[in-house]
Amino acid sequence: MDYYSIATVLIVLSALFGFVNVRFLKLPITIGLMLITIVFTLLILALGYFDETLLIKEKEFISQIDFKTVLLDGMLSFLLFAGALHTNFEQLKVQRKPIFIFATLGVLASTFIIGGLMFMILKLIDFPVDFIYCLLFGALISPTDPIAVLGILKKANVPKKLETKIVGESLFNDGVGVVIFLTIFSIAKSADASFEVAEVAKLFGLEVLGGIALGAALGFGAYRMMKSIDNYDVEVIITLAAVMGGTLLAHQIHVSAPLAMVTAGLIVGNDTIRGTSMSEITEAYVDKFWELIDVLLNTVLFVMIGMEMLVLTFEGKYVIAGLLGIPIVLLSRYISLWLPINFYSKKLDFVPKTNIIMTWGGLRGGISIALALSLTADMNRELFLVVTYIIVVFSIIAQGLTVGPLVKRLASKS
């Protein structure tokens, strides 16, 4: 099946499932689409016991989609730019220090905590796995997913100060998490499991700092071009060119495209820059265009996530490990956030119970699945793919549906 046909099927399914969600379920779009897609997939599996025709067709369809490439090399840049474009830059600037700690040291601490606990749990269920591979799993599951977070927090009525922390952390920690994952991945692949500190520092500097620098250049360049003209059609195309051209350039010079897009989006979306570079009609068109891109790609992404279950190997011990992985991931996030939150809570007037809300509101999503798909067979790919999928589904559906009520309940007690 060619790319056009694959895209057509995904968009048609997204439209149908989106209609069912809006018409009947009325859930946040990310939750509703994943839930409907999972039910749809389970129905096809059930029908497969009587007639495998449809099941075989869907498995063939899913196997033709390179989820990792589609998400990490394509969709992610658009989604991150759209998310950053509508993020409160001034609040982000005020909260920059804790957000930086959450997105760097927090992800690193979570990686080692999850890796260590998963190593022990797998031994307890008589499924020993090398520690380095457990650490690799810790790296891929630690970053919270900005795509899932942004879609659900809009409906959860989270206080703006806290929303900025969660969204800001999610926008940046995926880029940092990918760098940590790639570093551990390179160690795991090497025969002697060794690495040079200088090489790690070089990779981090090039990927992270290089991505931010490229994003700043793209954002400022787009701003200067938009300021010099007054034509909303062309100005919308300029923002699109910044994302597409910037992503291509980032891949060519080997810097972090996600971090570049977050930085560019924050600059273009800054209220001061908006006021000096865009007319009211341009601002409206830019916002609506990127909102539409955000919704379209979100719907396709979560339909893809729901359908991925068809190609997983749901063995008994894999499922047990996945279910045990849920409290491990939540506990690790709580621990990794505890110190920075307590350090900054008085200085920045944190919302009461910030740690609990950020732990439960830190959702995992497509990025973790994409990274799990990049594991090799000798890294226990099938095991960690199932574990990751179970955690992601629980995160988006269970945590996503209850984060709003949790915020209201904690707010009423404070």
Residue pLDDT, tens place only, 351-363 = 888 999 999 999 9
**Vertex 92: Cα angle to 90 and 93 (nearest 5):** 65
Q: Are residues 109 and 239 in the same domain?
A: yes
Reported confidence tier of residue 410, pLDDT bands at 50, 70, 90: confident
Which tokens in the block code for residue 70?
A: 């589609």
Q: Are residues 168 and 28 in the same domain?
A: no
Q: Are residues 149 and 298 in the same domain?
A: yes
Residue of 156, 155, 173, 153 lying closest to 164 (CA atoms): 153
Q: Are residues 147 and 50 in the same domain?
A: no
Return the percentage of the chain with pLDDT > 90, whole number.
63
Residue whose token pair is 């250049």: 217
Q: Are residues 49 and 149 in the same domain?
A: no
Query: What pLDDT is attached to residue 306?
Result: 93
Query: What pLDDT is attached to residue 196?
Result: 64
Q: Are residues 289 and 341 in the same domain?
A: yes
What is the per-residue pLDDT across 104-129, written as a single tens digit (0 to 9) for each?
999 999 999 999 999 999 999 999 99
Q: Are residues 384 and 311 in the same domain?
A: yes
Q: How far apart are CA 65 and CA 106, in angstroms?
A: 33
Query: What pLDDT is attached to residue 201?
Result: 72
Q: Are residues 297 and 380 in the same domain?
A: yes
Q: What is the DSSP letter of 365?
A: -
Residue of 308, 281, 301 lying closest to 78 (CA atoms): 301
Q: Are residues 58 and 164 in the same domain?
A: no
Which tokens in the block code for residue 29?
A: 């779009």
What is the per-residue pLDDT across 186-202, written as a single tens digit (0 to 9) for each?
888 875 555 566 666 77
pLDDT-wise least confident of 97-106, 153-162, 362-371: 153-162
Q: Are residues 107 and 17 in the same domain?
A: no
Element spanning 228, H or E: none
If one compares 190 and 334, the residue with the highest pLDDT of the two is 334
Average pLDDT, the chain: 90
Question: Which residues, 6+ apart, have CB-to-CB distance to 221 below 8 Å?
Answer: 242
Which tokens in the block code for residue 361?
A: 């509101």
Q: For residue 27, is it left (φ>0), alpha (ψ between -120 and 50) or beta?
A: beta
Measured distance between the N- and C-terminal CA atoms of the chain, rounded to whole angstroms = 56
Query: What pLDDT is attached to residue 197?
Result: 64
Q: Which of 18, 44, 63 is the last residue of a domain?
A: 63
Residue 173: HSE in the Cβ half-sphere, 13 Å Cα cutoff = 36
Domain of residue 38 covers 3-63
Into how many domains does the chain fold?
2
pLDDT > 90? residue 151: no
Q: What is the DSSP letter of 398?
A: I
Q: Read off the pLDDT of each residue in 206-217 and give the average, rounded to a whole number.
A: 91
SS3 33: helix
pLDDT > 90? residue 25: yes
Residue of 178, 144, 192, 171 lying closest to 334 (CA atoms): 144
Query: What pLDDT is attached to residue 192?
Result: 56
* pTM (two decimals): 0.92
Q: Are residues 59 and 160 in the same domain?
A: no
Q: Are residues 127 and 250 in the same domain?
A: yes
